[in-house]
Structure 1
Amino acid sequence: MSLTTGLMFLGTSVVCSVSVGALLKAGRARGLDARQAIFMNYVVASTLCFLLLKPDLAKLLSPEQPVGIFLALGVLLPTIFLALAKSVQLAGIVRTDAAQRLSLIIPLLSAFVIFGEQLTERKMLGVALASTALLCLLWKPSKGGSGKGGAWLWPLVVLLGYGVIDVLFKQMAKAGAAFSGGLLSAFVLAGVLMLLYLAASKTRWGLGHLLTGILLGALNFANIYTYIRAHQSLPGNPALVFSVMNMGVIVLGTLVGAMAFREPLSKLNLLGVLLALGAIFVMVPR
């Protein structure tokens, strides 16, 4: 596939990812139980995966398929979501958001260490710009996060979790035609685990939370599907996919936060937006 196709998949994934975050943020202000919405999200994502991708489940049983990766994703997706909620509770939103975005470090390193991408001067410049952009975009005045014991433990779990999930999605993309079956198995397992968690928590179900989850599931499915397709379209450029995805989400998320949710945007944050766009420009092959 062409570079243009890969970038189109990436652009779609970025928009859907930011839409997921905006939906959860808007819902939280209206009393949304995100746990129920996330559970329904996996139900909808599983349904869409089955109906639209028509996975051949028999291929999952073949020896060459990375079943362990599919199962790991199914466990990590809901687990890291719960860790994210715990991190927000104990460490605050600023530290948690920083940890989630800084997880870019893990897939970037994996692009050169695990996936064998050649480290050129141009890519080194792109990585440097991306790292500087992250620091500028995430710099916010502290409002006194909690001093409890989990103030740094849980953000660290979030950082490691999201970084590993990114790498696993790249590995899933290498499964070829069987990736749709792997994606379905990951969604189903995530939904089952989320349901068990809600049952253990004796959750009082609400129709509004589940209806929000339907829209969330459609956006999340589109986000993950197009992200994997971007990796498949650009198999030799994992660092490009990782960087453009994360930088794109941060830039668009920052702008949406400022315009839709009136989040303050400093001059340093604006510099971060420009540096992130510069990083994307530098890393796109000519």
Structure 2
Amino acid sequence: MFYIFLSILCSVAVAVLLKLFNRYSIDSLQAIIINYPTALILSYLFFKPDLQIVGQHSNLLPEYTILALLLLSLFYFISRSITYSGMVITAVAQRLSLLIPVLAAFILFGEQLNPIKIAGLLTGFLAIILSLPYTKNEDGNKKASVFFPLIVFSGTGVIDVLFNRLAQNKEVPFTTALSTVFGIAMFLGFIVLAYLFTTGKSKFSLKTAIGGLLLGSFNFFSIIFYLKALHLESTKPSVIFSALDVGVITLGSIVGFFIFSEKLSLRNKLGILVAIISIIIFSFA
């Protein structure tokens, strides 16, 4: 479990960085884009991907490109969700996204739902309802501040489904496919940066570049430690999945509540508890 603990630390560190970007006036979008060349360089050092295999399966490039676009945009929405809804709510939204692959397997691929999965789905959706933050508008009316967490929830779930498809493809190793996605995300991100720089809508900032390097490093190592944990505990993947999700929610809640003084209602706290229960239920499914 040592590697899963390291993966949890890196995952929460990514959220902490995104939280600090807003505090220290660091351009989140620029840092997120710089995160991808960092992740790509590290993937070449650790994964040593074979690009010839990718060239032989060019039919997969559209899928890689869609995934790269989703990763770029979702990372930005995660940063907005952390800014406006907090680390805790965002962590719950991300980790409960496992509901979407389960529903996709049932709706799209005809997989049967057993009582345990049904219980996990019901408690998961209840956790989402309880966890969503409520704020007051300027006119004093209550309105659910749900947009960013729901985007994070749905976007992460769709990405999980696409990553599962990549993992099931035996012709291209998952690490090679992942490195390719990082490369495409970097290319697309650089196009966005070029537009922002040439139009004067953004300027290069050294502290933002450093933030992007740190973001890419923690993001990459959260993945590699997770893969190492799966490799060592290959017969117990459900234990790894649930340990990671529960760990990120728990540590993220501790950091958000005690370090960043995020305010949570009793309903939100109950939602976090129900989310952990839902994840544990799925570990038995």
Which TM-score band (shorter chain)? 0.7 to 0.9
Residue 20 and residue 82 in structure 1: after superposition, are their counterparts in 2 closer, same or farther (change >3 A)? closer
Shift of 1:247: 5.3
Could you state the TM-score of these two structures normalised by the residue count of structure 2?
0.76
d(CA) in 2 for partners of 1:142, 1:125: 30
d(CA) in 2 for partners of 1:194, 1:216: 15
d(CA) in 1 for partners of 2:8, 2:266: 24
Stretches of structure 2 that go unaligned for 5 or more consecutive residues are none
Could you report, residue by residue, the CA deviation over 1:226-265 in whole angstroms, capped at 9, with x for unpaired residues?
A: 5567788779978x87776555544432332101100012
Shift of 1:216: 0.7
AA paired with 1:33? D
In structure 1, the residue corresponding to 2:184 is in which secondary structure? helix
Select which of 120, 141, 162 maps to 2:134. 141
Shift of 1:113: 3.6
d(CA) in 2 for partners of 1:69, 1:121: 33
Shift of 1:65: 7.7
Contact 1:12 1:223 (8 Å CA) reproduced = yes
1:234-253 aligned within 5 A = 248-253=247-252
Say yes or no: does 1:174 pair with 2:173. Answer: no
Shift of 1:171: 1.6
Could you report, residue by residue, the CA deviation over 1:110-150 in whole angstroms, capped at 9, with x for unpaired residues?
A: 24344665422122222222222232222x33132899xxx
Counterpart in the other structure of 1:4: none
Say yes or no: does 1:187 pair with 2:182. Answer: yes
Contact 2:31 2:212 (8 Å CA) reproduced = yes
Could you state the TM-score of these two structures normalised by the residue count of structure 1?
0.76
Could you report, residue by residue, the CA deviation over 1:65-118 in whole angstroms, capped at 9, with x for unpaired residues?
A: 8444322212221133445678899xx547x95876765542231243446654
Counterpart in the other structure of 1:210: 209
Counterpart in the other structure of 1:279: 278
Contact 1:37 1:209 (8 Å CA) reproduced = yes
Counterpart in the other structure of 2:124: 130
Counterpart in the other structure of 1:31: 25
> Which is worse superposed, 99-108 or 49-58?
99-108
d(CA) in 1 for partners of 2:235, 2:59: 18
AA paired with 2:24? R
Say yes or no: does 1:75 pair with 2:74. Answer: no
Counterpart in the other structure of 2:269: 270
How many positions carry a matched residue from both structures? 272
d(CA) in 2 for partners of 1:21, 1:86: 11
d(CA) in 1 for partners of 2:212, 2:43: 16
Counterpart in the other structure of 1:21: 15
Query: What fraction of aligned residue pairs are identical, expressed as a percent?
Result: 35
In structure 2, the residue corresponding to 1:106 is in which secondary structure? helix
